[in-house]
């Protein structure tokens, strides 16, 4: 499969630096989204997380509106909304509103994880009798409120009903792959942080896919950690910011972006190093030629229809440079 056949997109967490505010993170996010818009990226997604110091994307639909209003062409959406945290009608209303403001530019990716720990989940004040086991019913209810209204339908999502906002299923296991296949929905696998089951999940999704009003054939995206720079050495250096973030996650520390370091060897134990490397198993790190070769290999291995790139850079300009290098390798000089 040629890179020219693969769509390319961005996943953002509104990641704040250790020395800056969330306002600074949001300003940098806008700059990145505008850059991605100009470079031909397909979509710019925000992920719902809660109670994580350094991750500013908790009010996901608010940020989606902010990004959509600051860009012109690129699709903007959730990658994803953690549906068990919310009443489906509320999500339908939020995304119906976004779709009315920005027609044909809004995506709604949904997942079944809480995006937080148990204590935070309870603080979200959702129905504690419902959970991940109810996800298929929650998904069906969300689809109901985004579809055309039925005759004599008593409760409608306003706006939202009849908006047909595109729904994606997101997952890091085989469960969502199976459900996406059964419902005939596009599927995005979270290989940017859980790559172990990537190939099996893609196989399950494609093998079990049932055509729907949404799709007549499978459409699979994969998350790809990326750090592109002018040389392999520079990219590896910049990627230590992302490695430190995962190390902090493993240790239960804050997740604010730390500056890159000359070497990780003094920062982690051998076991921690292996965990971080496992987390970044499909990471694409390097110079333009290295990035192109790794992306071509990943395309051949997975047959993905779309790459969704996730990155953690301390300096905003390094992120913009990486976005440009990746776009050039995906589509040639732009």
Residue 133, pLDDT score: 72
Q: How many helices (H) and strands (E) does the chain have?
A: 11, 9
Domains by residue range for the chain, with CATH: 3-223+304-316 (3.20.20.30), 224-303+317-334 (no CATH)
Residues 110 and 80: beta-carbon distance below 8 Å: yes
* Alpha carbons 28 and 314: distance in angstroms, whole number: 11
Residues 278 and 196: beta-carbon distance below 8 Å: yes
Residues 89 and 157: beta-carbon distance below 8 Å: yes
**Secondary-structure breakdown of the chain: helix, strand, coil percentages, each rounded to the nearest 5:** 45, 15, 40
* Torsion from C-alpha of 167, 319, 228, 312, nearest 10 degrees: -70
Q: Name the DSSP letter for residue 15.
A: B
Residue 186, pLDDT score: 98
Sequential pLDDT tens for the chain (334 residues): 689 999 999 999 999 999 999 999 999 999 999 999 999 999 999 999 999 999 999 999 999 999 999 999 999 999 999 999 899 999 999 999 999 999 999 999 999 876 455 665 565 655 555 555 789 999 999 999 999 999 999 999 999 999 999 999 999 999 999 999 999 999 999 999 999 999 999 999 999 999 999 999 999 999 999 999 999 999 999 999 999 999 999 999 999 999 999 999 999 999 999 999 999 999 999 999 999 999 999 999 999 999 999 999 999 999 999 999 999 999 874 4
Residue 221, pLDDT score: 98
> 3-state secondary structure string, 256-271?
CECCCCCCCCCCCCHH
Residue 114, pLDDT score: 63
């Amino acid at each position: 499969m040629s890179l020219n056949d693969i769509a390319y997109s961005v996943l953002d967490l509104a990641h704040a630096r250790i020395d800056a505010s969330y306002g600074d993170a949001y300003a940098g996010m806008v700059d990145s989204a505008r850059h991605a818009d100009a470079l031909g990226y397909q979509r710019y997604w925000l992920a719902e997380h809660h109670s994580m110091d350094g991750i500013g994307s908790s009010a996901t639909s608010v940020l989606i509106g902010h990004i959509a209003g600051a860009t012109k062409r690129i699709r903007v959406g959730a990658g994803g909304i953690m549906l068990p945290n919310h009443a489906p009608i509320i999500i339908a209303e939020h995304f119906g509103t976004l779709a009315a403001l920005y027609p044909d530019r809004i995506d709604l990716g949904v997942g079944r994880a809480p995006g937080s720990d148990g204590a935070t989940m309870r603080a979200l004040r959702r129905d504690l009798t419902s959970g991940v086991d109810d996800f298929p019913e929650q998904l069906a209810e969300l689809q109901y409120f985004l579809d055309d209204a039925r005759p004599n339908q008593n409760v409608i999502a306003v706006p939202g009903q009849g908006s047909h906002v595109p729904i994606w299923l997101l997952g890091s296991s085989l469960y969502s792959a199976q459900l996406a296949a059964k419902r005939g929905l596009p599927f995005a696998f979270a290989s940017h942080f859980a790559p172990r089951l990537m190939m099996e999940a893609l196989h399950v999704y494609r093998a079990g896919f049932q055509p729907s009003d949404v799709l007549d054939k499978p459409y699979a995206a994969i998350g790809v950690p990326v750090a592109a720079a002018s040389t392999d050495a520079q990219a590896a250096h910049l990627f230590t910011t992302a490695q430190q973030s995962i190390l902090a996650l493993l240790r239960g520390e804050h997740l604010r972006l730390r500056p890159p370091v000359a070497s990780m060897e003094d920062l982690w134990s051998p076991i921690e190093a292996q965990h971080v490397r496992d987390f970044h198993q499909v990471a694409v790190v390097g110079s333009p030629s290295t990035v192109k070769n790794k992306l071509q290999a990943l395309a051949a291995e997975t047959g993905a229809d779309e790459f969704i790139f996730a990155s953690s850079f301390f300096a905003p300009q390094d992120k913009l440079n990486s976005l440009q290098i990746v776009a050039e390798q995906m589509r040639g000089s732009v």
